[in-house]
Amino acid sequence: VVAGAVELADAEGLDAVTIRALATHLGVPPMTLYHHVPGKEAIRDAIVDAVFAEVPPPTAGRDWREQLTERSHAMRAALNRHPWAIALMETRAQPGAASLAGHEAVLEVLRSAGFSIPATAHAYAVLDAFVYGFSLQEAMLKDVGLERAPDDLVAGMALSASPRIAELAREHVLTPGYSFGDSFDVGLRITLDGLESLRTADQPRRRGGFDEGG
Amino acid sequence: VVAGAVELADAEGLDAVTIRALATHLGVPPMTLYHHVPGKEAIRDAIVDAVFAEVPPPTAGRDWREQLTERSHAMRAALNRHPWAIALMETRAQPGAASLAGHEAVLEVLRSAGFSIPATAHAYAVLDAFVYGFSLQEAMLKDVGLERAPDDLVAGMALSASPRIAELAREHVLTPGYSFGDSFDVGLRITLDGLESLRTADQPRRRGGFDEGG
DNA sequence: ACCTGAACACCGTTCAAGT
DNA sequence: ACCTGAACACCGTTCAAGT
């Protein structure tokens, strides 16, 4: 049922996920769905959590930077596969089980790496902000890019009053090797460097490696 | 018309912005709206751009870091006032006039500060990702926090399997002085430090300040 | 020509009628 | 008891009937 809803959202967009259309997609009478699911809102909760469930747990025993890099890429990939999930997250009142499990796993990585509790809170908020925000931008670009050719697109906007946008488009974005996604690795490096500074700034006297206890 | 739609979305949520409800809110017969606006999708385009229009242009003649700090705070504030805008952005095919003007202004700040074109592209993508993503998280937290008391909230989730989340909640989030928003300034500093490194890494030999021409 | 009510093809959900 | 069709109160939009 949830899997069918995800397929439908991927194929035809979030608005196409109606009770009736989903029932047709699954080959059952519409009202039958209410025996498996309380209502539409529950379906929306479930498909968001299904996207989080696609992100594998961190591989144990590796450097925290590697673990978070891997997870950030996996999260971005999942959100690229299901761009509607970003919009849906905003209205979810309660995180699902997979979302909670993901949170727990990331917190464990940070705490084990020596982040203090306040540093962990900052680090998680900042890293997630970057990953979600970047994925949101990629989802926006996907909507823009599909219909028309790039030159047409630029011509379509009133760029006479926007010399800097025109410059960027002409000399960079419309250039053969360009890929917006390359900025993800740049931003991830910047963000992880920043997290490292949070980690070390918070425990400058721990050089000796002794355990200070609780 | 657009202002009325924004009011309605702020007050009752995005789903409450229907043609009929909007007409009632404005005190006109429903079909009258179609004389001012092509359809619902145009209204959604317009209210997103109205949010971008609330972000003032950068103050000229200041340091690029100050300008971008100011703008990031203003953008975050606008998205906090209108949390539905984040979800709506994802499905917009074309940026509106205010959005384009904002892009142009930020690009101008970056280019004037000496960022190369590739560095400008990275910088803008990374900064916007952080601001959008952080605002998205704040919108999510707003949904979570309203109904119940914090202790109740924590109790409501199955945190027995989530010791790190429980630890963070108990020893940090539920502590008197805590505010999620404080992480914004931490993340913004990290991000701007990262942009600075992009700026300088890209033009290490320009110390002399001579013009290399085009 | 301009405006707008009725109508159409949807939607999520309730509820009673079937088995 | 379980399942599900008809019905209800919506929705965006079309279109023809009014002025």
| SS3 per-residue string spanning B77-125 | HHHHHCCHHHHHHCCCCCCCHHHHHHHHHHHHHHHHCCCCHHHHHHHHH
C1’ D10 / CA B20, Å:
10
pLDDT value, residue A161: 82
pLDDT value, residue B207: 44
Residue closest to A15 by CA, chosen among B88, B19, B30? B88
Is residue A182 pLDDT above 80, yes or no? yes
**What's this model's pTM, rounded to 2 decimal places?**
0.91
pLDDT value, residue B145: 59
Instruction: Please tell me the number of Cα atoms within 13 Å of A199 on its side-chain side.
Output: 18
Q: What is the mean pLDDT of residues A203-209?
A: 47
B110 close to B124: Cβ distance less than 8 angstroms: yes
pLDDT value, residue A214: 30
Q: How confident is the model at residue A172 (pLDDT cuts 50, 70, 90)?
A: very high
pLDDT value, residue B129: 98
Is residue B174 pLDDT above 80, yes or no? yes
What six digits make up the tokens of A97? 């089980």
Residue closest to B46 by CA, chosen among B4, B102, B107? B4
pLDDT value, residue B125: 98
Is residue A117 pLDDT above 90, yes or no? yes
Residue closest to A58 by CA, chosen among A128, A107, A100, A116? A107
pLDDT digits (tens, 9 = 90+) for B55-65: 999 988 899 99
At position B145, the amino acid (one-letter code) is G
Q: What is the mean pLDDT of residues A65-73?
A: 98
User: How buried is residue A83: exposed, middle or buried, by Cβ count under 10 Å (0-12/13-18/19+)?
Assistant: buried
Is residue B168 pLDDT above 80, yes or no? yes
Q: Is B107 on the interface with A (CB under 8 A)?
A: yes
Q: How confident is the model at residue A145 (pLDDT cuts 50, 70, 90)?
A: low
Residue closest to B141 by CA, chosen among B124, B152, B153? B153
pLDDT value, residue B211: 41
Q: Which of A4-8, B55-59, B198-202 has the lowest mean pLDDT?
A: B198-202
A129 and B125 within 8 Å at the Cβ level: the answer is no
pLDDT value, residue A144: 73
For chain B, what is the mean pLDDT? 89
Mutation for testing the A interface, residue in B12, B136, B160, B193 having most A CBs under 10 Å? B136
Q: Which of A60-69, A99-108, A196-205, B38-47 has the lowest mean pLDDT?
A: A196-205
Cβ neighbours of A92 in B, within 8 Å: 140, 143
Q: Which of A6-20, A22-36, A154-168, B119-133 has the lowest mean pLDDT?
A: A154-168
Rounded Cα distance between A144 and B91, Å, is 9
Q: What percent of chain B has pLDDT over 90?
A: 78
Question: Is the backbone of residue B27 left (phi > 0), alpha (psi -120 to 50) or beta?
Answer: left
Residue closest to A42 by CA, chosen among A84, A2, A81? A2
Residue in the structure block whose two tokens are 């009632």: B24
Residue closest to A52 by CA, chosen among A106, A11, A16? A106
Residue closest to A72 by CA, chosen among A139, A3, A126? A126
Q: How confident is the model at residue A1 (pLDDT cuts 50, 70, 90)?
A: confident
Q: How confident is the model at residue B72 (pLDDT cuts 50, 70, 90)?
A: very high
B1 touches strand C (CB under 7 A): no
Residue closest to B139 by CA, chosen among B8, B41, B10? B10
B52 close to B92: Cβ distance less than 8 angstroms: no
A29 touches strand C (CB under 7 A): no
Cβ neighbours of B165 in A, within 8 Å: 100, 103-104, 107
B28 touches strand C (CB under 7 A): yes
pLDDT digits (tens, 9 = 90+) for B135-165: 999 999 987 754 445 555 555 566 678 999 9
Is residue A211 pLDDT above 60, yes or no? no
What six digits make up the tokens of B21? 């409800």
For chain A, what is the mean pLDDT? 89
Q: What is the mean pLDDT of residues A158-181?
A: 90
Q: What is the mean pLDDT of residues A101-127?
A: 97
Q: Decide which of B187 and A1 is more confident.
A: B187
Is residue A149 pLDDT above 60, yes or no? no
